[in-house]
Amino acid sequence: MNTTDTTSSLTAESQVKNQIGFVSTVTAHYTMAMRKNKSPGNLATPGADSKTRFGFGALLLALAIAGCSKHEPVAQRAPLPPASVRVAKVETGRSIAREEVVGTVRARERATVEPKVSGRIARLNATLGQAVGAGDVLCELDVREIKARLDQALAQSEQAAKDLERYANLLKQEAVTRAEYDAMEARSRMAAAAVAEAETMLSYAKVTAPFSGVITRKLADVGELASPGRPLVELENPNDLRVEVDLPESLLRQIRMGAKLQIVQEESPSAVEGTVSEIGPAADPMSRTYRVKIDLPKESGFRPGQFVRVVVPAGESPRLLVPSGAVIEKGQLEFVFVVTNNVAQLRLVRTAKRTGGSAEIVSGVSAGETVVTDGADTLIDGQSVQIK
C-alpha cells in the first residue's frame, strides 16, 4: 500500500470513529430521556412511550445519515500527462486591402445605326436579339426623289459630254476660243460629279450593319420617315466586352494601365480577370469620379448591360498570420492554443481570411506568441505540453 492509500485509510478510519462517537452520544441522551419519562411524576399516556421511541429512533437515524454524508471523501483527478504538439510563431505580414465597386458590362463595339439620307422606311430587316454580319442590309428607304435626281444628273452629264465633244471640233476649226472650250469642259466635269453624288446618295438608301453583332434595340418601324440623326437600331458585339466603372481618386491611385483586376458577377462565385485599357484623365464634375474601362477576355460569360463587382486594391496594411491548422472551429467561434511556459492556454480569436495555408488573425493573439499547429484537437485548456 502506498502513502496515498495509507492516508486515505487513516482518514476513513477517523471519520468512522467520529461517527460512532456521535451515535453513542445521541443514544445516551435518548436513554436519559426515556428514564425521565418513566418516573412516577411523569406518567405517560397509553401509546406515548411507543411514539417517543419512534421519534427518537427517527431522529437518531437522520442524524447518523447526516453525519456520514458530511464526511464523504472527495476524489481528486490526477493531472494529465504532457501532450506532444508542434508549434509555430505568430508572424507579421502585409495585407492588401480591397474594395468592391459596381461596374457595368459594355460591348467595346456598339453603335447607333441611322440613315444618311431622308426617306420613308420601305423595309426593316431587324428584330431584337438578331445576329447580323458586317455589311448586312438592315433597312431600305423609299428614295424615289434621289432616283429622279440621278436620272436628271445622268441626262445633264450626257448632254455636257456631247457639247464638250462638239466644242473640241470647233476648237480645231478655230470656231471657238480656248476659253470657251475650257468653260464647256468644266461644265462637263460638274455634270459628271452630279451623277456621282446622286449615285452615292442612292446607295445610302440601303442602311447596312457597320460590324458583326446583335441588335439590342429597334427604334423605328416600316412606313415611318427616316432621316439623318434619327436612330433606326442599336447594334453591339457581344463577343468583345469590357467593364466600365467609376472610381474615386483614392482608388484610382492604386491602378495603372495594363493592371489586372478581378471581376465578379452576382450569380457566380468565380472571378474573371480583366485588363485595364483606359483611364479617364479628368473627373466627372458631378460625381468627382474617374471612368475606367477594363477589357474582358473572350468567352467571359458576361452579357452587355450586366452589373458586376470590380475588386480594386485599396492599399496595404499590417496583419498577423498563423498556420491554418492552428485555428480550431467550434460552431461560429474560433480558437487557438497559445503555449506559455510549456502550458497550453485556450484563446478566442477572430480570423479574416485564409490563403495559401495561412490564416489572418484580426484579434486574440500578438506577434511573436507561440501557437499549437499540430495536436490542438486533443488538448485541454491548461494542459502541459511537450514540443516536438
pLDDT tens profile 296-342:
998 888 888 899 999 998 877 788 999 999 999 988 899 999 999 99
- Higher pLDDT pick, 266 / 117: 117
* Cβ 270 vs Cβ 164: under 8 Å: no
User: What is the model's pLDDT at position 51?
Assistant: 42
CATH 3.30.9.10 at 83-95+318-387, yes or no? no
Q: What is the pLDDT of residues 67-83, one digit of tens each?
A: 444 444 545 666 788 99
Greatest Cα pair distance, the chain, in angstroms, is: 190
Q: Is the pLDDT of residue 289 over 70?
A: yes
146: pLDDT confidence band, cut at 50, 70 and 90? Answer: confident
Q: Identify the CA nearest to 53 among candidates 35, 67, 68, 41.
A: 35
Residues 6+ away with beta carbon under 8 Å from 379: 83, 85, 337, 344, 346, 372, 385
Q: Is the pLDDT of residue 166 over 70?
A: yes
Q: Is the pLDDT of residue 105 over 60?
A: yes
Element (H, E) at 370: strand 370-374
What top-level class would CATH report for the domain 114-234?
A: mainly beta
Query: Parallel, antiparallel, or unpaired for β 271-279 and 260-265?
Result: antiparallel
Q: pTM for the full model?
A: 0.51
Mean pLDDT of 109-125: 92
User: What is the model's pLDDT at position 378?
Assistant: 87
- Higher pLDDT pick, 29 / 302: 302
Residue with cell 493531472: 79
CA-to-CA distance for 126 and 233, rounded, in angstroms? 8
Work out the mean pLDDT of the chain and round it to a whole number: 81
Mean pLDDT of 98-125: 92
Q: Is the pLDDT of residue 210 over 90?
A: yes
What top-level class would CATH report for the domain 237-314?
A: mainly beta
Over pLDDT 70: what percentage of the chain? Answer: 79
Residues 6+ away with beta carbon under 8 Å from 313: 96, 97, 98, 254, 255
56: pLDDT confidence band, cut at 50, 70 and 90? Answer: very low
User: What is the model's pLDDT at position 343?
Assistant: 94
Q: Is the pLDDT of residue 20 over 90?
A: no
CA-to-CA distance for 94 and 316, rounded, in angstroms? 6
User: What is the model's pLDDT at position 18?
Assistant: 46
Element (H, E) at 194: helix 178-203
User: What is the model's pLDDT at position 308?
Assistant: 93
Over pLDDT 90: what percentage of the chain? Answer: 53
Mean pLDDT of 51-58: 44
- List the domain boundaries for the chain: 3-70, 83-95+318-387, 114-234, 237-314
